[in-house]
Structure 1
Amino acid sequence: MNSWIINILPQDLQIICNHAESTYPEECCGLILGYLGRDGKTVIDIIPTENAWNTQAEDFPGEYKVQTTRSRYAIAPQVMLQAQKTARERSLNIIGIYHSHPDNSATPSECDRLYAWEEYSYIIVSVQNGKATTVKSWTLDHHHQFQPESIENIT
């Protein structure tokens, strides 16, 4: 299995970009459902979620608490639990999380790295002046460092 590839339909990528543009200048976030196969991860569904950073920030350490939804995101625990239940009912898994970086690059931040999970893909959309520009996917290696993950369009 190639775990460095995420396969996605162009319309699912468009859902992510539209969500990113609609929440600008704040970060958007959402969940990616799918499965693992010989050809990497395959996206089956995109679940846009609310950026719950403002209600979840107290759970993060010191310097991150002062950040806002313009530069941080969080998915509420009850939303994660519901998505896990939905995925299980559909014989899928949560295979990743997407979020946007308003007026910044599609490169993970240190905060993104600290709270990331090894098995997930992290799709990041750079939104410049309200327009989605660059989309990149990342996954953690065994040293908890982000590595680029190839985004392949399903045709």
Structure 2
Amino acid sequence: MLRIKESALRKIIEQAERDYPYETCGLLLGRVEGPLRTVFGAFETPNANPDRKHDRYEIAPEDYLKAEKKAKEFCLEIVGVYHSHPDHPDRPSQFDQDRAFEGWSYIILSVSKGKVVSYRSWELIDGKFVEEEILIFGR
């Protein structure tokens, strides 16, 4: 299960709409308590994919390190990734699955004509993505 602060989710949605028609991406900063991941912040990263920003995302190693440093400043850790699917559903592609880590949450946003129309969160279990419930809290 994923709990996410409303302000973090709002930031992710705004970024996805701003970056349309390209895939947007970033890292989820929070805490893990048993099976529950709680997200307190979203760390925006540029899409570092040099050739296919419209249907692939890539987070550069230096951006990952910056996010890790920011998380540590607030006694948090990286608990997942978010990215958008412009004009495609909010479910993982094979490309997404091939690059995922178990134990992280993956929020995918479907963006149509510049507006987020839906979003879901997924976790990788035994090599397959399973949808996880999203609970929104706070402001």
State how far apart, in whole Å, the 1-side matches of 2:111 and 2:59 are: 20
Partner of 1:47: 43
Say if 2:15 is the partner of 1:6.
no
Partner of 1:154: 137
Deviation beyond 4 Å, 4+ runs, structure 1: none
State how far apart, in whole Å, the 1-side matches of 2:74 and 2:8 are: 18
Q: Is the 8 A contact 2:30 2:38 kept in 1?
A: yes
Overall identity of the aligned pairs, in %: 41
Query: Partner of 2:57: helix, strand, or coil?
Result: coil
> 1:11 deviation in Å?
2.1
Partner of 2:26: 30
Partner of 2:14: 18
Residue ranges of structure 2 left out of the alignment (5+ in a row): none
Partner of 2:63: 79
> 1:39 deviation in Å?
6.7
Bigger radius of gyration, 1 or 2?
A: 1
Q: Which of these residues, 138, 142, 147, is aligned with residue 122 of structure 2? A: 138
Residue ranges of structure 1 left out of the alignment (5+ in a row): 55-66
> 1:17 deviation in Å?
0.8
> 1:89 deviation in Å?
3.0
TM-score by length of 2: 0.94
> 1:38 deviation in Å?
4.8
Higher helix share: 1
